[in-house]
Chain A
Amino acid sequence: MKSWSVISVLPLAAMALLAGCTSISVQVEQEFPAVVAKPRDMSVVLVMDREFRNYLARPNSKTRIQFGAAQVEALSKAFNGLFAQVEVVSSKDQAGPDTDLVIVPSVLEVQLSTPSESFLNVYEVWIKYQLDIETADGVPVDSWFLPAYGKTQHSYLLSRSTAIEDATVVALRDVGAKLMLDFFRIPAIHGWVQQRQAMNSDS
């Protein structure tokens, strides 16, 4: 009886220990709500290439987070709240002649913090984006750094993959919040919008 218990407990304990060491792959599949806002009467083209659409983050050697499709959805919906016409294309050449702005988002870095590293009872994800913004003629307007942050409420009873997915979803929702708050406050964008309005009122 005793030897049976030892034999059955040891592999379980070893599996539990190894679970913390093995690599993990997380796929984020999430729909995001539409943004509640009155968009400005402008037309933008969002350029999201194949790499961005299939983005695979490697925040450390043991973790992979695939959130390409989720970030395309999150960013598209957020920009639909900012601009009346948003077209999502895969290369700059596809931008139409009536486009006001061309925006190319890219992921600079993804960071992950787990309870075993931070000694906090939460999983945290940071996604650092860069938005390269230019006019339809290719004149650069700005290159804007867009950080997003997400965390789980706690880590009790959450598997590692579920917790990382949840934190990533919160970070992607934060992208929408940050864009709605700050996009038109970017000095270069603010100046460009005012200049455009002045030109429209003159003509």
Chain B
Amino acid sequence: MSRTITVGISDLNIAQAPDVLVTYALGSCVGICLYDVNIKLAGLAHIMLPSASQAPSSANQPYKFADTAIELLIRKMEAAGGRRVLFKAKIAGGAQMFSGLSNSSIANIGQRNTQAVKMELMRQRIPIIAEDTGKDYGRTLYLTAEDGLMRIKSASKGEWVW
């Protein structure tokens, strides 16, 4: 029996085959999947903002940010026996949900989140082998630890697999 492990907003977790990780309704947030094919170990983070360095101390929960969350996810996977050199990444989300948003602090936040995720993965030397980002709709993301496949489900555009 495989278990389904839910990853919330600004949260992360890992799973080993045959379990499945899921994060619901990514909007402008980005979901980062890491996978070690050797031991069938999967990790998933759901980030809200690009970087912890710009955040006030009242709001610095590390799972919230692209840079700190990716770092912590890598460490958690390594602690579970994963080898960083084998990690491959798939990312999804970063949509622009509202088109005419006048509020400058969150305009283009989906795009900025996606960029920050790519920067951090590049810094960590983890290749991105699939990307489903941008556009204007929400995505639910399933990551299967058995094969590392990322399944995306949308409200009105159907579902597909990466």
Q: Is B one of A's binding partners?
A: no
A binding-site residues for B, Cβ under 8 Å: none
B binding-site residues for A, Cβ under 8 Å: none
